[in-house]
Structure 1
Amino acid sequence: MIKKYLFLVVLFSFSFKGNSQSNYAVTPIPFTQYSASSANLATSDDRCSNLIALPFAFDFYGVNYNELVISTNGYIDFRTSSANTSSPFVFTQEIPNVAFPVKNAILGAYSDLNNSNAEGTITYGLYGTAPHRKFVVYFYNNSFFSCTAMKSNFQMILSETSNTIDIQLIDKQSCTAAGIGKTVTGLINLSGTEGIAAPNRNTGTWSAYHEGWRFYRPNYYTNYAFVRCDDDADGFQTFDLNVAANDLSPANPASISFYADMALTIPIINPSAFTNTTNPQTIYAGGNGMIKSVILSVVDCTVDADNDTVDTASEDVNNDTNLANDDTDFDGLPNYLDNDDDGDLILTNVEYVFGRGSQSSNSLLDTDNDSIPNYLDNDDDGDNVLTFMEDYNHNNNPADDDTNANSIPDYLENAVALGVNNFDINQQVSIYPNPASSVLNIENTSNEAISNIAIYAINGALVKEIKSNEAMQAIPVADLQNGIYFVKIQLNQQVINYKFIKQ
């Protein structure tokens, strides 16, 4: 497919080798339920399984594991000593906490579940193709102890290569029985000193339906990755290393040279046409006082690694032959491994459709006619409210929000932009320059005083906030990573939303 649309694509370092970084973050993701070739886990109440072999090494809090334990109370435990032991079922602490009864664990929907009544199942299995497989643990219709009418349905998904952890809360009902219904969704390390829970999903009594969360480590990948399609299925390909030089030093790519060794003593003679000798292969980039590993990999592009219906070759959005530097939503996963390429909580395979009505049947759907197809656009209707912000019922699914009941989801309807005020106010407040590199200026010619300015990352994380007692005219942004941001400006009871690019 020839792509004629233009937009900002982040240039980042991505590698198949992790490090010991442990600062996990959590972000909402679209609801996705996985089917996998699965094995049934023999269960009994409050019990940990025997050791279960992982089909791939998985990095959790900086340690690689090849086996794990599944508790019938809804968590994965990486401690081998937990195998075939009783599982704790009573807890009151929020994570992190050194007194928390479970450690070194992925807490899918950890609670006091009853697995002895044969009403539900626990299965585990493998989904996908290496090196992008997923290990899926599925709790189906498990009852709460002493609250058997209420059920818990959820999945824990461990991803090969990216080492991300997804929790899909399919239908986690609420049990209010004293001491029984407390549930937590999150991670905790071996000592209990580090941990993170999904928002509003720390220890407490709550319910969730069709809700997805991803736990990941920002800047986890420290090397530069160059991933090419394998055109002839032989594992080898010719790489134009100038692509890597442009990414590593956009201002001066000519300053970057490539070498076969880390000591930078064996130069690569023809960087414009370098053929790998192994797959993957590590070479080294040097220049500007920097030495960086460059991982060259060749992948089978007939495999749709993220199962998003977009053929892998078409996910080279910037057409530079490197699949690994296309990350439209700046979430650390390149598009060819991401099933929500624009980070708007609408699955790519829902948005990757061709034009309807007045649009050409040969063009991808572009609701706001901004030359960015919906599957790559985080503001599908062009109303300056990011799609994920049009989740007005707050269930992490903008697709079911239709506030004017006209059968058109709000995220596809420009006329609906809750929180965006009248045209006059929008014309009287502006931001500049855009793109900005060091300072974002706010110009307010209205009669209303600005009371608050908040800047959000593309995944909804609040990265900077300026309140009324601080300077409102010039906002420093040099500390922000390059990418697209969402600016929310509040003037008394009125709110205006903008997008700006940090570069």
Structure 2
Amino acid sequence: MKNNFLFCNNNIIFFRNHSLKIFILTLLFSVNVNSQVSCYAFAESAGSYTALSSSTNVFSSGWNDNITGAISIGFAFNFNGTDYTSCFVNSNGYITFGAASVYGNYNPISSGTSSGSISAFGRDLTNNSSPIVRGVEGSAPNRVFVVQWNNARRVSDPFWIFSGSAVTGDNLNFQIRLYETTNQIEVKYGNCVLASDVYEAQVGLKGASNGDFNNRRLTSASL
């Protein structure tokens, strides 16, 4: 069963006092001919959130329902048994490998035609006058490719085109981080304010098929 990322309390600050949770997904096997994302191990820890000090805009401050072409990772990253040197960013909280996502896909763990997805906050998101950026930290062979969402907001009722609007009061800051050599996947959440508990998001991994997934579920604000 694919679970959504569910927030249950009103007006919560996801990580109080600028603390955060780090979701780390690490492949259990270095060689796996028939890889599945269900073979990734999961760990959770608290730590500090540091925004990119040097970055390039993926989407400028007016983004909404945007998808990139292929973006260079800067090194070979092995996801689900395949090496990739590029990925595609969807402004709705996730990246894909092999192909760009379909326009309007707000459920990257449940559906999609790419070779794989990493979702940090997969749902209809919109800007709050801040860009989505990317960058590479460190030096070979220990570089980290980072995609960073700044001050994002959820959109209410994304499939009801005439009533969907940005959720006033939302402020979401998070990163997807890909590690060279270790092929570790890390999702970091910074200061996140959620003004409502009714709009869910998907968090986790999807493989080449929609039946191959590894996702997380939050059912309280005390993550």
The two structures share one fold, judged by TM-score above 0.5: yes
Q: Pairwise mapping of residues 36-115 of structure 1 onto structure 2 (< 5 A)?
A: 36-43=53-60, 44-82=63-101, 86-89=103-106, 91=107, 95=109, 97=110, 100-101=111-112, 103=114, 104-115=116-127
Whether 2:181 is the aligned partner of 1:165: answer no
Post-superposition offset of 1:53 = 0.7
Measured in 2, the distance between the counterparts of 1:102 and 1:120 equals 29
Whether 2:171 is the aligned partner of 1:151: answer yes
Measured in 1, the distance between the counterparts of 2:71 and 2:121 equals 20
**2:169–2:193: 8 Å Cα contact kept in structure 1?**
no
**1:88–1:102: 8 Å Cα contact kept in structure 2?**
no
Measured in 2, the distance between the counterparts of 1:107 and 1:33 equals 18
Q: Pairwise mapping of residues 115-134 of structure 1 onto structure 2 (< 5 A)?
A: 115=127, 119-134=129-144
SS of residue matched to 1:171:
coil
Q: TM-score normalised to the size of structure 1?
A: 0.33
Max Rg structure: 1
Q: Pairwise mapping of residues 419-458 of structure 1 onto structure 2 (< 5 A)?
A: none
Aligned to 1:189: 207
**1:120–1:143: 8 Å Cα contact kept in structure 2?**
no
Q: Pairwise mapping of residues 64-463 of structure 1 onto structure 2 (< 5 A)?
A: 64-82=83-101, 86-89=103-106, 91=107, 95=109, 97=110, 100-101=111-112, 103=114, 104-115=116-127, 119-145=129-155, 146=165, 147-174=167-194, 176=196, 181-198=199-216, 200-201=217-218, 395=223
Post-superposition offset of 1:171 = 2.8
**1:58–1:163: 8 Å Cα contact kept in structure 2?**
yes
Measured in 1, the distance between the counterparts of 2:210 and 2:53 equals 31
Aligned to 1:26: 42
Gaps of 5+ in 1: 1-16, 208-393, 396-503
Higher relative contact order (CA 8 A, sep 6+): 2
Measured in 2, the distance between the counterparts of 1:53 and 1:126 equals 10
The superposition leaves residues 167-203 of structure 1 with CA deviations (integer Å, 9 ceiling, x where unpaired) of 111133335476xx211221111212221123x34xx
- How many pairs align? 177
The superposition leaves residues 330-389 of structure 1 with CA deviations (integer Å, 9 ceiling, x where unpaired) of xxxxxxxxxxxxxxxxxxxxxxxxxxxxxxxxxxxxxxxxxxxxxxxxxxxxxxxxxxxx
The superposition leaves residues 133-163 of structure 1 with CA deviations (integer Å, 9 ceiling, x where unpaired) of 1011111101222213212111111000000
> Which amino acid letter does the alignment assign opposite residue 195 of structure 1?
F
**1:36–1:136: 8 Å Cα contact kept in structure 2?**
no
> Which amino acid letter does the alignment assign opposite residue 68 of structure 1?
C
**1:33–1:155: 8 Å Cα contact kept in structure 2?**
no
> Which amino acid letter does the alignment assign opposite residue 95 of structure 2?
I
Post-superposition offset of 1:31 = 2.2
> Which amino acid letter does the alignment assign opposite residue 32 of structure 1?
S
Q: TM-score normalised to the size of structure 2?
A: 0.70
**1:46–1:88: 8 Å Cα contact kept in structure 2?**
no
Note the aligned Cα RMSD (angstroms).
Answer: 2.6
Measured in 2, the distance between the counterparts of 1:73 and 1:109 equals 7
Measured in 2, the distance between the counterparts of 1:190 and 1:175 equals 34
Residues 175 and 105 of structure 1: CA distance in aligned 2, closer, same or farther (over 3 Å): farther
Measured in 1, the distance between the counterparts of 2:54 and 2:142 equals 16
Larger helix share, 1 or 2:
1
The superposition leaves residues 76-103 of structure 1 with CA deviations (integer Å, 9 ceiling, x where unpaired) of 1113244xx62413x4x9x5x4xx3475
> Which amino acid letter does the alignment assign opposite residue 153 of structure 2?
S
Measured in 1, the distance between the counterparts of 2:112 and 2:197 equals 20
Measured in 1, the distance between the counterparts of 2:103 and 2:168 equals 21
Post-superposition offset of 1:18 = 3.4
Residues 36 and 161 of structure 1: CA distance in aligned 2, closer, same or farther (over 3 Å): farther
**2:94–2:117: 8 Å Cα contact kept in structure 1?**
yes
Larger strand share, 1 or 2:
2
SS of residue matched to 1:150:
coil
Gaps of 5+ in 2: 1-28, 156-164
**2:99–2:113: 8 Å Cα contact kept in structure 1?**
no
Aligned to 1:217: none
